[in-house]
Chain A
């Protein structure tokens, strides 16, 4: 066993050190110092992960490496360690998190150069990496929960980075609270695990499940569904997806790192990590698949009509996460993780490119005011084109392979699977359409705001874009078979069989044709005759309005949950119960006391001094009371006793 693997704790600790240095000293450090600290931390973490990779392969058969755990909470029967583990699954995830994370740190240097809270921004970003790596490395559910809540905290702080804007502060708070609803599910799942397995350690749970065939349905379904609630919060699935579009209030690199590439995929990772539980519950799996498919198509329809470039990408992220859950739900865990990885590349790319556009346009995010940017921002245009082709699923780009893997896995799952496949296919059509819509609106045609003079971003921002574009091209070439083979020790051998080569090829052709159709429609509406899009919208006024207002889900939640809760709290609990009933009883008690004692009457006279003096006298009396000879008093006590015993 390679000793190097026992230094896993370095991976989270390095970003944490960066957070501490910049968080405590950042205000006084020169900007270059802040930058250096902020970049070294994730780079070093990435190098440690890279260094661990060959050592990990060298470890051979040992697919699961645990570093010596430290006891954390030990009380009564509960014993939880701070334990970190590395296996194929966490390795893939770590490479994505630290690698893409580092690129986005580099990009941020240019993007955030003129911001006031430069040091604050980078300390939060490092803090995020710390918690995210803890989440990924966690060897038990509670340590994962530390990372889980921690990334939520980092997300809260970064969404609300421009905290003087009310919308930003609102969005941060909303993200945290909605995530808490998911965390409630996670907590209940942990309680159920403790009650039934007596442990939170993933390996032990797996071993106990494997040891007895009696485990099935019932409890496991409950645990799996509670975990799914948690995952739906973090990964923005129905019904808890509402925070993610608002989270776009944060700086754009944050949207790329946290709200596209890494944090929001934590739910996918968590289900893959606890897949043994889901494997035992067909019901839970189908819930996951249905929620995923519904979210995918639902968010995609909203994405069709949004005008804010970041909001289009946000709904696209929700939709793509839905794909990943669809994959999980048909037990194609490797395909989901595969899509998670390629999505991290091309979605980070798209967000950063959008950031480059916004940067170049002087803060403008409205697609209707863009247009013709391909000449002014040639590099951004080129990389965005790659990103759009990748997410739309054109071969040989990354998204093609991973999306195809999920769709193929769904197709082979019986009649229900065929339905999921069809929903996935329609989503692919919508995805292709809205991405090309964005592409046409932003980059092609003529500029719609001639007064703005866009400029291309500096190379510190373009560099990461080019690297991510490269990854978006080659990221899928490894192929699902080899990828699934690598992940098999972590997530099981259940690689979806595509049912023979001819079917596989037919499915691929259909998927590509659908993507091309989406492009064609976008071309028809936004290039050939730009006015046609408005005509279509005018022809379907109701549908357009509903989509533009995101199905009014925020309004419905406010009317059904938030307002009633506040109203019940204020009017029923506070006014009726607390003030009227309990307050009234206390008042009665006080009234009785006031009436019975003349001394109490005197108190009410309002003379502070006499009141205080009376209290002091009372205290003195109590002290004296301790010194009084008690024999006479106690002589009478047996009578009381008899009286009571007589009942």
Chain B
């Protein structure tokens, strides 16, 4: 362990915060704030890349760990660490930050200082959520991640920002209250906020089981809203429509999904097992519901929102299928979703900046004048659809096949129907935006394709989609290491918890060979 390994996580958390401070102190002149933010996010990305470079693959438990007492009483510790589960998610946050800055480059015309300062605070908050291993610190970062989001939605909303911000606030802050109560209750029982210690307490049954199920439920509720899980998705469409692109690309999904794996299933395996069948059902409903609604949206932000509901539900399905392959697929799909949605939002944002409308029907025939935008958009759409050789397919196949073999055939088949609907709404969107005769809107403005900064961001993302689709083995082994069963005994219990009802003449339980 070198010195840098011992302090890298602190640096990762501090650099965006320092950048935010710098933006706040520097004069609001021209694009100075943009440049500071860009350099800060690039520096953060560089720091996060240190983690996979020095991650020891075979080693179990947390790495780059820092555990220092912060407050004696109550015992809050600055305990941060990375394992296979969070490793690539941290890198993903680092990667999407510069993408967000570039996407906001021209979109944010006023009050740049506030925007970029809050944007950088948001980065620290999200990184903190992935890194914290002390529940109180985790909770602090969790709440902190909601604040800049709400403010920026209110300030930069396209039509009715404050209303969307209020909705976002109500949907995400209110479920956090039971989460806080649950965390405090755990502390009262154990006098620790430490994740690993709590895991030991709970697995050894040192905490009364009856209230524990309520505690687990409080955790789950907060996470499920944030993902979102059907039917708690009410905030997503408005938030996507109103939030600045840089925030919309990170608002949904990964924080909640990660928290489900780490803090719901990780802390309360028994309770998670009990609710898993319901979540599997809600996830499958969410996949189809989101896809059906995406099919009939007239506004592309809302279409993206319901498409996200559909895809995030697929990941939820992978998580609560409680199979190892499903978890691998789920974590991989979180990464894929981040990369793909980053590109999608950047492109939609570029269109919105140019044409000032998100009404799909106003568009049409853009491919002639904007060939680059059209090309990258098609590639991104194909990744979303789950075309083999692009990244979306790998995660999708892992999740669906593990659900089929290890959870329930009926739900898996229903979820697979989403494959058809996904192609339908994405290709229809592509057609209505880019194909057909040139619309009045397309003719009304001089064509302006993606500029150099945007190209410098979207092409790497597009290449990443291809690489992640072709060589998932660059990521999957380290992810697998992070998904330990909470205790050795349950090594097999991460397995089919719903007995396969439709018994077949000969069946070899594939998951069981592990």
Q: Footprint of B on A, CB under 8 Å?
A: 71-78, 142, 145-146, 149-150, 153, 156, 160, 163-166, 169-170, 173, 176-177, 180-181, 183-184, 187-188, 190-192, 194-198, 212, 214-215, 218-219, 565-566, 568-570, 573-574, 577-578, 582-583, 585-586, 589-590, 593, 603-604, 606, 608, 611-612, 615-616, 618-619, 622-623, 625-627, 629-631, 633-634, 637-638, 640-641, 644-645, 647
Contact = CB atoms under 8 A, between A and B. Distances in A.
B394 interface: yes
Contacts of B167: 586, 590
Contacts of A71: 473
Given A196-B504, A640-B185, A78 B325 contact: yes
Given A146-B388, A647-B210, A606 B419 contact: no
B296 A566 contact: yes
Given A76-B480, A177-B420, A622-B143, A611 B154 contact: yes
Interface stretch (B89-97, B196-204, B351-359, B426-434): B426-434
B438 interface: yes
B293 A198 contact: no
A578 B231 CA distance: 9
Contact of B404 (A181, A194, A585): A194
B352 to A, nearest CB: 21
Given A214-B506, A606-B162, A615-B147, A634 B184 contact: yes
A381 to B, nearest CB: 37
A146 B389 contact: yes
Interface in B289-346: 289, 292-293, 295-296, 323-326, 328-329, 332
B413 A163 contact: no
Nearest to B118: A616
Contacts of B155: 608, 612
B376 to A, nearest CB: 13
B57 interface: no
Interface stretch (B239-247, B256-264, B395-403): B395-403
27 contacts: A74-B476, A75-B398, A76-B328, A76-B511, A146-B389, A150-B387, A150-B389, A164-B438, A180-B420, A184-B419, A187-B416, A191-B400, A191-B405, A191-B409, A195-B405, A195-B510, A196-B506, A198-B508, A565-B295, A574-B296, A583-B234, A593-B174, A619-B143, A644-B214, A645-B208, A645-B211, A647-B210
A568 B437 CA distance: 30
A471 to B, nearest CB: 32
Contacts of A583: 234
Given A198-B508, A606-B162, A630-B74, A184 B416 contact: yes
A174 to B, nearest CB: 9
Contacts of B151: 612, 615-616
Interface string B219-262: 00000000000010111000000000000000000000000000
Contact of B402 (A76, A166, A192): A76
Interface string B159-174: 0011001110111001
Contacts, number: 243
B491 interface: no
A590 B296 contact: no
B32 interface: no
B211 A644 contact: yes
A119 to B, nearest CB: 12
B389 A77 contact: no
A368 B137 CA distance: 79
Given A163-B436, A573-B293, 4 more contacts: A615-B150, A615-B165, A631-B73, A645-B208
A177 B426 CA distance: 10
A290 B83 CA distance: 56
Contacts of A173: 427-428, 431
A641 B210 CA distance: 11
A190 B413 CA distance: 12
B513 interface: yes
A173 B402 CA distance: 30
B419 A641 contact: no
Contacts of B77: none
Contacts of B208: 645
Interface size class of B (residues with CB under 8 A): 35 or more
Contact of B510 (A194, A582, A585, A619): A194
Contacts of B74: 630-631, 634
Contact of B188 (A153, A165, A593, A640): A640
Q: Which of B235, B401, B504 has the most CB of A within 10 A?
A: B401
Contact of A634 (B188, B417, B435, B472): B188
A78 B398 contact: yes
B441 interface: no
* A76, A169, A566, A593, most chain B CB atoms within 10 A: A76
Contacts of B71: 627
A451 to B, nearest CB: 28
A630 B71 CA distance: 10
B188 A166 contact: no
B76 to A, nearest CB: 7
A212 B507 CA distance: 13
A199 B257 CA distance: 30
A74 B512 CA distance: 16
B514 interface: yes
B292 A565 contact: yes
B436 A177 contact: no
B27 interface: no
Given A191-B412, A195-B510, A630 B388 contact: no
A618 B143 CA distance: 10
A74 B478 CA distance: 12
A183 B136 contact: no
Contacts of A645: 208, 210-211
A212 B400 CA distance: 28
A395 B442 CA distance: 57
B295 A566 contact: yes
B184 A77 contact: no
A611 B162 contact: yes
Given A163-B435, A164-B438, A586-B167, A77 B416 contact: no
B486 interface: no
Contacts of B420: 177, 180-181, 183-184
A169 B292 contact: no
B424 interface: yes
Contacts of A75: 324-325, 328-329, 332, 398, 472, 476, 480
A608 B171 CA distance: 20
B62 interface: no
A566 B293 CA distance: 9
B234 A153 contact: no
Contacts of B412: 191
B116 to A, nearest CB: 15
Contacts of B35: none
A574 B401 contact: no
B189 interface: yes
A191 B510 CA distance: 11
Contacts of A183: 419-420
A155 B507 CA distance: 37
A310 B202 CA distance: 70
B276 interface: no
A23 to B, nearest CB: 9
